[in-house]
Amino acid sequence: MGLQQCWKRKKQQILAAENPNVVSVFLSKKHELHTTRSWEFLGLQRNGKNSAWQKGSFGENTIIANIDTGVWPESQSFSDKGYGPVPSKWRGGNVCQINKLPRSKANLCNRKLIGARFFNKAFQAYNGELVPSLQTARDFMGHGTHTLSTAGGNFVRGASVFAVGNGTAKGGSPRARVAAYKVCWSLTDPAGCYGADVLAAIDQAIDDGVDVINLSVGGSYVVTPEGIFTDEVSIGAFHAISRNIVVVASAGNNGPTPGSVVNVAPWVFTIAASTIDRDFSSNLTINNNQQIEGASLFVNLPPNQAFSLILSTDAKLPNATFRDAQLCRRGTLDPAKVKGKIVRCIRDGKIKSVAEGNEALSSGAQGMILGNQKQNGKTTFGEPHVLSTVGTNDDHAGAQSDFFLTATDPIESGATIRMSPARTLFGRKPAPVMASFSSRGPNKIQPSILKPDVTAPGVNILAAYSEFASASTLLTDKRRGFKFNVLQGTSMSCPHVAGIAGLLKTRYPSWSPAAIKSAIMTTDNTNRPIQDAFAKTLATPFAYGSGHVQPDLAIDPGLVYDLGLTDYLNFLCASGYDQQLISALNFNRTFICSGTHRVTDLNYPSITLPNLGLKPVTITRTVTNVGTPSTYTATAQLPGYNITVVPNSLTFSKIGEKKTFKVTVQASRVTKRRTYQFGELRWTDGKHICYIVYLGTHSHGSNPTSVDLQIATYSHYDLLASILGSEEKAKEAVLYSYNRHINGFAAMLEEEEAADIGMFLSNKHKLHTTRSWEFLGLHINGKNSAWQEGIFGENTIIANIDTGVWPESESFGDEGYGPVPSKWRGGNVCQISKLPRSKTNPCNRKLIGARFFNKAFEVYNGELVPSMQTARDFMGHGTHTLSTAGGNFVGGASVFAVGNGTAKGGSPRARVAAYKVCWSLTDPAGCYGADVLAAIDQAIDDGVDVINLSAGGSYVASPEGIFTDEVSIGAFHAISRNILLVASAGNDGPTPGSVVNVAPWVFTIAASTIDRYFSSNLIINDNEVIEGASLFVNLPPNQDFSLILSTDAKLPNATFRDAELCKRGTLDPEKVKGKIVRCIRGGKIKSVGEGNEALSSGAQGMILRNQKRNGKTTFGEPHVLSTVGTNDDHAGAQPDFYLTATDTIKSDTTIRMTPARTLFGRKPAPIMASFSSRGPNKIQPSILKPDVTAPGVNILSAFSEFASASNLPTDNRRGFKFNVMQGTSMSCPHVAGIAGLIKTRHPSWSPAAIKSAIMTTATTLDNTNRPIQDAFAKTLATPFAYGSGHVKPDLAIDPGLVYDLGLTDYLNFLCASGYDQQLISSLNFKTTFICSGTHSVTDLNYPSITLPNLGLKPVTVTRTVTNVGTSSTYAATTQLPGYNITVVPNSLTFNKIGEKKTFKVTVQASSVTKRRTYQFGELRWTDGKHIASPPHMPTFFSNVVEMEMLE
């Protein structure tokens, strides 16, 4: 078909355009193609618990269309192994327009690649008819296979090219179904995609029922008056989004030219390109004295052979121009000059420069150095060149063409060059950096819409490839059969976002394209400004749009800016498009433009105000809540402008709720034309970044003067000023200068600034009684009780780092106390606000100090109001834990008239001090590491003896391990000052390896039950009685109520799972009112929210059933309505959990609840709590964690009278002097209290000795004299749950032997663990510490023995015991099934206190054991009176042996 037949004359175009039924007439344009580490760089992990892959089900059954060069169907990326039937939403049938390869029997389309079509009529109109063998959707170029596999390809191992970049290839939605639409046909011309073909493909994809369209093509960025509706991609995308299909398109490869961005319609998702943290690299060695790192994918020269360099301009043929020779264009180089040498060329293309190498090779060159032009900046990449090639960036470029410059000498022809083999480098910083080729804004067609929208990986992208295409796509390149290849361009970044969109579409199938786009745009989490490809230049939103994509954040964005068809039509009205045209887009229904809409009010996730003068401009946006109920606060910054947001706080109570706000912007002065200013508006719950720099110990000693403190602080300012540029900036950034004992500071910094100085992120830490002390064997009148032996902890000082203290509690009254001990150095600091009309001093001779630390909290959450700037406890947690550790004897303690008895602490005569670091009234993870570290530093300086810290961070192990955790750092400095720090193990059980606070110098406490139970009986249908846990029942005991399962009472818009858990807004009041509702427990240690939903829906009471993970652990909670909890003993496999032999209880069953009562003497006890975090220790496997277990369930202790009983803001029941709580937060202060007794009894003992005394006297038996049970039916607990066992204070006060440790022991342990010697010396009070190399981590003198990765070879460990009792002889006994154990010597005789004896234990397995098999045993030293035992432990990869040492 001739061109004149294909297209109408201009006159006919004009006549057609005047037809009222024609939207537009325009020339079909040529579109350019814009083309595995990248997904890891984006944070996606195949086995990650909370990764977008898991949450988005790997894109399962989302259908992604790729409009490109076709597909190579034989690629493993498109195998259908493991896939089920094609989704029913697919309407494309069995169309598979791909020719089979010779001798191929496989079906080319399958259950993964579910369709393939081609469209080439426009291409043929311009280029002539294709031969029949090319009339296929098969990919002969590689581009389409690469982009489709990046968006939705399978996991494929062993992906590499030229043996570089080896890894697993995968797509963003690796379980998606994919369909290929071939529209690009030229094997050499990237602009070989014609608009008419593209539009036909989009139309077909819409009809086929796809969910996401990836379109890595785009037209010219030249602005046309017709604008949006003379561009095929824009037209097609409009029709796609009207059918709820996301269209993702590349921004173009014409950067860094301003205004070069294409695909700019607001309904198109436009993607820029940037780097990842992987480089393909080779070193150039020049004249044997200079080395430059460059980019390379292919070097096959001998690495030790030097070659002569020639500049291409020195090798040009006489008829070639200087510029053509510089760029090594075809036919420009003289073979006589080039042969056998390395030629230096200048890069010609922006994303592809393989032709330069072809000219060099054909001229006889051995290799090529490819220097960037200025327009390429620092962007270098590996390309599949036809000869050994290294690319260098503009960092090595002078203003002239001779780009290799040293301080004194430009390198010229004749220099010698060696190239090292190409290699893969990971962890490159900074990354991302904007690619120089990535097209830039502003948006010339519609300036009020910011384009591009986001940036994604587009440099050095390794993905599947066509085995027909040559590696370089040069026709002369005979290297074929590549399954994978490396490409670059916005063509490569585009499918990354299409893959992320697929994950969101799977997770939220009802979300609109605009909501998915908003989720990805508004969740950028860039810490330091992204750099541009040019030296010392920061990128702007004209380069990256909203920022770099973050899929793990996009999967849960909280809020979205949504848009529908009507919004886009109103936008077109405001843009001045013809109303008749707009109606044609409205499915030919008349659309009336109201005239009130403005282009700037399109509900887009960015705000762009072109031509802003001095007058204020107000725009409107609406956000939709797609997350949990929350309150968002606005922060805005735009230098030189005043910004007002009304309202500046938005509270959402349910999903789908919408809120509208207005933003007014006014310039403070006139700005120049074409001047651009960038700022941001954030709706946030405060995710700013606080870093901590840790420098070890101070050199000023333990008693610093004020001058010492000042010198330390200014040294911190000086260090930070060297990074930030001035002392003023440093002072402004620093939150805390740890200038007393811990040497370091916390500061607000960007990520790159933090990296420059070796900082780590300030972590968020979670907050982790009357009968419990009796259960532990302590009696106020006991003759030989640890209370009497330890003088009730008299004058030991216990610090509590928590939510503060309620000082008016009787637990902290000072009647009968003498003066404050002289060792207290905290003075009279008491940062507690007085209650109205109160005349007493909140601090006294019992509560001897109170401070608060909130700088880090305020950075993340905004400044607290003055009334909250106090160490007063508004939550109750800190009062509870402090009174458990060191509270007075207080009679009449109870809650809801249950649990009546005497409250007391473990060291009831101790002095106590409160350090408030936890501030949220609702979030248990509201304690920030920088505040925690400041509190520990202050407590050390104040002269405390024991620190209780019922909080801990994440249990995710990091390579930095022990010294990027604030609790670990603080505890190290505490033990170096002879202070024991006791910390909770965490509440993330029963997950293996979830234990936190695992450093060997931290005393880590698990949680278990006691023999008291708060109980209520359920009478079911008058014929069945089940005992449950309850603290509060106020229903008439003889009145029956009808039961309804929460899932039978759910509202129509609630999910089954949310209703099962009685989440907020899930229950129908009409169904629930007046009944008892059955809910499933949602929390591990707290589930009062379920009762709140039941009460607000009109329920009379609630039955709360455990999930499987809760096991048998039930407890009394201060619910807002009558509640009984039942455990998993009464759970069947189905949701109907009340099962008898003959009857399943369902909705409409009748229920009566008996009043809550207190039961004592329960057996067995203790039982491990299901929530208590478990070992093994992921950071240091040779140290058993937790250390011991203590009471942490149903603990009654003092409480804040401000806090509500349930801690719910809606609960008006306040004024409680006591309350019941659970968690390792509660077990932790029990051990702190016991440590206080030992400290009083043995004031000279080290923290390690006190810890050893408690660990080696702990028991692994319950009150039936059987092994401690776990919370799960018929399961015994192991040392990974209880450590050395359950604490026994009466034995710990007189242990006989202890395993002691000092600072030098811990430093040698760090040496053996591979920590840097300079870091270790910094911990040694700045005194050089020499690692001898003879120490083993298993030889740390810890009161347990743990042998990870134990094979068949014998392993010997050494321990030393110190006698702290009377003269005696101890004999060793051991037991460890399946192992032979020898103890030498096996008898130890001691004649005096303080005498030390060393022994060796050799352990050998009698047979090979399975991987991840754990075996536990014990070693006992006993003299007939004392039993000292070090615990047991297993290994991660083979068998781990753990042994308990008992005395």
**pLDDT tens per residue across span 130-152:** 999 999 999 999 999 999 999 99
What local confidence, expressed as pLDDT, does residue 403 receive? Answer: 33
Active site (annotated) includes residue 68 = yes
Q: Which residues of 296-322 are buried (b: 16+ CB within 10 A; e: fewer)?
A: bbbbebeeeebbebbbbbbbbeeebee
What local confidence, expressed as pLDDT, does residue 535 receive? Answer: 80
| Catalytic residue from among 77, 216, 491, 1172 | 491
DSSP 1402: E
| CA–CA separation, 716 and 749 (whole Å) | 14
What's the average model confidence in pLDDT over 272-279?
Answer: 92
What is the number of H-type helices and E-type strands within the chain? 35, 65
What's the average model confidence in pLDDT over 361-379?
Answer: 93
Helical spans, DSSP H, in 339-468: 354-362
Reduced to 3 states (helix: H, G, I; strand: E, B; else coil), residue 707 is helix
Closest CA to 31 of 246, 213, 225, 253: 253
What confidence tier does 224 reach under pLDDT thresholds 50, 70, 90? low
Look over the chain and give the mean of its residue pLDDT values, rounded to a whole number. 85
Q: pLDDT (tens digit, 9 = 90+) per residue, 799-848?
A: 999 999 999 999 999 999 999 999 999 999 999 988 887 777 899 999 99
> How many CB atoms lie under 10 A from the CB of residue 638?
16
Active site (annotated) includes residue 716 = no
pLDDT at 1132 exceeding the cut of 90:
no
Asked if 980 and 945 touch (Cβ cutoff 8 Å), the reply is yes
pLDDT at 1049 exceeding the cut of 50:
yes
Q: How far is CA 462 from CA 380, 424, 484, 750, 1343, in A?
A: 15, 12, 7, 30, 51
What confidence tier does 176 reach under pLDDT thresholds 50, 70, 90? very high
Contacts 24+ apart (CB under 8 A), 224-229: 226/24, 226/26, 227/445, 227/446, 228/264, 228/265, 228/445, 228/446, 229/23, 229/24, 229/577, 229/581
Ranges 30-44, 450-464, 552-566, 1389-1403: which has the least confidence? 30-44
| Catalytic residue from among 1225, 1227, 1252, 1321 | 1225
Residue type at position 1134: Q
- What are the residues whose beta carbons fall under 8 Å from the beta carbon of 15, sequence distance 6 or more? none
What local confidence, expressed as pLDDT, does residue 1227 receive? Answer: 95
pLDDT at 1432 exceeding the cut of 50:
no
| Catalytic residue from among 34, 143, 716, 1119 | 143
Longest dimension (CA), the chain: 116
Higher pLDDT, residue 362 or 1158 = 362
Q: pLDDT (tens digit, 9 = 90+) per residue, 669-722?
A: 766 666 677 878 888 754 334 545 555 566 666 677 777 777 777 777 777 777
Q: Which two tokens mark 1425?
A: 């009176």
Across the strands, what pairs with 1298? 1362
The strand pair at 1076-1080 and 1101-1105 is best described as parallel
Active site (annotated) includes residue 281 = no
Asked if 1412 and 1436 touch (Cβ cutoff 8 Å), the reply is yes
Closest CA to 969 of 949, 942, 987: 949
| Catalytic residue from among 28, 68, 388, 601 | 68
| Catalytic residue from among 197, 567, 601, 802 | 802
What's the average model confidence in pLDDT over 725-736?
Answer: 76
Task: Find tokens 């959707």 and name the residue.
Answer: 137
* Preceding omega of 647 cis (within 30 degrees of 0): yes
Q: pLDDT (tens digit, 9 = 90+) per residue, 501-527?
A: 999 999 999 999 999 999 999 986 555
What local confidence, expressed as pLDDT, does residue 897 receive? Answer: 81
What local confidence, expressed as pLDDT, does residue 1326 receive? Answer: 66
Closest CA to 358 of 327, 379, 337: 327
What confidence tier does 1434 reach under pLDDT thresholds 50, 70, 90? very low
Rama region for 517: left / alpha / beta (φ>0; ψ in -120 to 50; rest): alpha
What local confidence, expressed as pLDDT, does residue 1436 receive? Answer: 25
> How many CB atoms lie under 10 A from the CB of residue 143?
28
> How many CB atoms lie under 10 A from the CB of residue 165?
24
Q: How far is CA 409 from CA 286, 368, 406, 412, 1342, in A?
A: 12, 21, 5, 9, 61
Helical spans, DSSP H, in 212-334: 232-241, 322-326
What local confidence, expressed as pLDDT, does residue 1038 receive? Answer: 87
pLDDT at 32 exceeding the cut of 60:
no
pLDDT at 874 exceeding the cut of 90:
yes
What confidence tier does 896 reach under pLDDT thresholds 50, 70, 90? confident
Q: Which two tokens mark 1154?
A: 């008996």
| Catalytic residue from among 496, 741, 768, 877 | 877
Closest CA to 898 of 1117, 1072, 616: 1117
